[in-house]
Structure 1
Amino acid sequence: MHLKLRHLEVFHAVMEEGSVSKAADRLYLTQPAISIALSRLEDMLGFPLFHRSKGHFAPRPEAYLLHMDAELSILAVEQFSNRARLIKQGGTGLLRVGAIGAAAFGLMPGLVARYTADNPLVEIDLSVRSSHQISYLVGNGQCDIGLVEAPVAAPSLVAEQFSLPCVCIFPAGSELEAKAQITPADLAQHRLIGIQDSNQVDRQLRAVCAGAGFEMRAPVHGFFFAVVRRMVAEGAGIAIVDALNGCLPPQDGVIWRPFTPEIRYDTALIVKAGAELSLPARAFIQIIRNEMQARGKLPDMATV
């Protein structure tokens, strides 16, 4: 038996409309075309679906039993067609993103909200991991996109590097708020919260402090910039963090100022080498790229 979608559409229309003439109008077909399609369907099934006599046309019990299945089959085909259209447009699918803490807290929430507002059928799985773990997941195809610390040295990955400025953050009401920019000398007068000894920002800061003639002392460390910001908000000290987390709106009572000499935080957008990215992945990568390029410079203090 080789049923065609058209047979089911005709059968469903006749059952819905209650007559051959109304079904013909609904499907923009002639009445003979409807009758022929019904007869072919009955021949394939091997039993009649309708009572036919002069002036009388009515469904048999068998037609009622099959009507719901016909409707579900038509809906399934429509769903298939709609899903295929959305896939073609990049409007559906699963997007797996791995991000280090700096991006996961300071960047991704806003980008995910913006993207899903326009693509509500795309599922996004955001994993917060270390750079090493994310590189492994992307290289093995378990993540589509990764945001890690630069540099990236892995032949299985393609990397696009971005450089972000760092800022000094401190609680509102601090005397530092009166300054247009913060210098190493200012750090020497306050309790400093570091990231971790191996972090690129801390390494640069140690060199800057040494150049200014004193040793950087950070009695407290936090692994994530977002955690460090929270400690600053609670009054644990001041910190140098990336602009993603440092230049957030001061709803938590944390203020930022530029730091000189400049310290940069280098990150990289990574994908698997040779991988064929889905339309949602390509679209989300472009959003990340645009945002990271825009964040490469500090916002104007007059607009903050």
Structure 2
Amino acid sequence: MNLARRRLLVRVAGGALTALPFVQSTGAPAAEPFPVRPVMLWVPWAAGGATDLSLRLLAELAGAALGQPVVVANRPGAGGTMAMGLLTQAEPNGYTIAQMPQPVFRAPFVHKVAWDPVRDITPIIQISGVTFGVLVASESRFRSLEDLFAFARERPGELSIATNGVGTTPHLVLEQLFTERGMRYIHVPYKGTSELTLAVESGQVLVGVNSSGFGPEVDAGRMRLLATFSAQRSKRWPQVPTLRELGFDIVAMSPYGLAGPRGVPAPVVKVLHDAFKKAMYDPRFIEDLARYDQELAYLGPADYAKACRAEYAKERAAAERLGGARGAVN
């Protein structure tokens, strides 16, 4: 082969090598940074409720830390467990996460589900818990919990009580308070706090039991709070007794956090955790929680995973104790 021919082949070969995609010397593809696109946060409650509004603010703050938006989408229904189905179908890449309310740890002992709340999630961070309370309209005849019991005894099956869904903490507390004592009531489940509050205020139902999204209505005098489910009296409503003070050994605060599908890589979990932890401690978020009588209850990934397992075990034990028919209470 002459010299000119050899030079031509070298130039062609060099051009072909230049056109090949870059490959690291290790043979492994370069890891994609996270995140490079928006993160979807599923909220298993209706839009406009206290939890939804708080998580929207948290998402906004976390998005700023991540450098990508955190988009909030609602999937209400099934007592707050709808997001579990979404997580089991999602890729474990960190771009799909969801709020984990207490009912997801109870649901497997109440009815058949296609997922496991411990096996099928990657815990990211615990955020807070909620204050539950028994509410009536401000003009209601009911002034105390005992008034409700007296009405239920005198007029069986006429006391209508709204909650945020079948199998939720408020519903199961009602089962302990009424059904287990031989009193009947009409359970009226709603998908969100806004609908429930309107129903109680307008007289569509006589009583509501819900998380502290009712706070503004109570503060404005449109609703009356008869009792809370907390271990201690609320700083916001110190005049309102707890169920425990009234003689019922019931405490419920439903801690909640965020999780992804099973198998999210640890580095991605860390990025999400750090962003949401920073957002949690932003004064704006702390102030927003205070509006609903809530405080931070931070746990990191490892401790939150332990807490999830503990809650699941507690719900199992409670379901066995109550025969499984009515689920469990926190």
TM-score, with structure 2 as normaliser: 0.48
Aligned length: 205
- Say yes or no: does 1:239 pair with 2:207: yes
CA distance in structure 1 between the partners assigned to 2:40 and 2:117 by the alignment: 22
CA distance in structure 1 between the partners assigned to 2:207 and 2:193 by the alignment: 9
Report SS of the residue matched to 2:72.
Answer: strand
| Residues 186, 105 of structure 1: alpha-carbon distance in 2 compared, 3 angstrom cutoff | farther
> Of the two, which has the highest radius of gyration?
1
Give the residue type in structure 2 aligned to 1:156: D
Conserved 8 A contact 2:135-2:226: yes
- Say yes or no: does 1:99 pair with 2:91: no
> Which of 131, 134, 144 matches 2:97?
144
> Which of 191, 197, 213 matches 1:223?
191
Residue 126 of structure 1 and its aligned partner are, at CA, apart by: 1.5
Report SS of the residue matched to 1:264.
Answer: coil
| Residues 94, 153 of structure 1: alpha-carbon distance in 2 compared, 3 angstrom cutoff | same
Gaps of 5+ in 1: 1-86, 300-304
Conserved 8 A contact 1:193-1:236: no
Match of 2:3 in 1: none
Report SS of the residue matched to 2:53.
Answer: helix
> Which of 68, 71, 83 matches 1:134?
83
| Residues 144, 114 of structure 1: alpha-carbon distance in 2 compared, 3 angstrom cutoff | closer
> Which of 262, 265, 269 matches 1:273?
262
Residue 98 of structure 1 and its aligned partner are, at CA, apart by: 0.8
Match of 1:30 in 2: none
> Which of 151, 161, 170 matches 2:136?
170
CA distance in structure 1 between the partners assigned to 2:61 and 2:118 by the alignment: 34
- Between the aligned residues of both structures, percent identity stands at 9
Residue 97 of structure 1 and its aligned partner are, at CA, apart by: 0.8
Residue 242 of structure 1 and its aligned partner are, at CA, apart by: 3.0
Report SS of the residue matched to 1:226.
Answer: helix
Residue 155 of structure 1 and its aligned partner are, at CA, apart by: 1.3
> Which of 105, 116, 128 matches 2:60?
116
Question: Structure 1 or 2: larger strand share?
Answer: 1
Conserved 8 A contact 2:162-2:205: no
Q: For structure 1, which segment, 133-142 or 249-258, has the greater mean C-alpha deviation from structure 2 after superposition?
A: 249-258
Residue 231 of structure 1 and its aligned partner are, at CA, apart by: 0.6
Match of 2:162 in 1: 194
- Say yes or no: does 1:255 pair with 2:204: no
Match of 1:264 in 2: 252
Give the residue type in structure 2 aligned to 1:258: A
Q: What do residues 120-174 of structure 1 show as CA deviations (whole Å, max 9, x unaligned)?
A: 6642321211444312323323622333433063413034676544201221233
Conserved 8 A contact 1:164-1:266: yes
Conserved 8 A contact 1:94-1:122: yes
Question: Structure 1 or 2: larger helix share?
Answer: 1
Match of 1:156 in 2: 120
TM-score, with structure 1 as normaliser: 0.51
Conserved 8 A contact 1:97-1:127: yes
Gaps of 5+ in 2: 1-32, 106-115, 229-242, 295-330
| Residues 225, 258 of structure 1: alpha-carbon distance in 2 compared, 3 angstrom cutoff | same
Residue 111 of structure 1 and its aligned partner are, at CA, apart by: 4.1
- Say yes or no: does 1:283 pair with 2:275: yes
Conserved 8 A contact 1:232-1:239: yes
Conserved 8 A contact 2:38-2:69: yes
Residue 200 of structure 1 and its aligned partner are, at CA, apart by: 4.0
Root-mean-square deviation (CA), in Å? 4.2
Q: What do residues 191-227 of structure 1 show as CA deviations (whole Å, max 9, x unaligned)?
A: 4233344444223312211344422334x44233432
| Residues 104, 97 of structure 1: alpha-carbon distance in 2 compared, 3 angstrom cutoff | farther
Residue 229 of structure 1 and its aligned partner are, at CA, apart by: 1.4
Residue 187 of structure 1 and its aligned partner are, at CA, apart by: 6.2
Report SS of the residue matched to 1:167.
Answer: strand
Conserved 8 A contact 1:98-1:145: yes
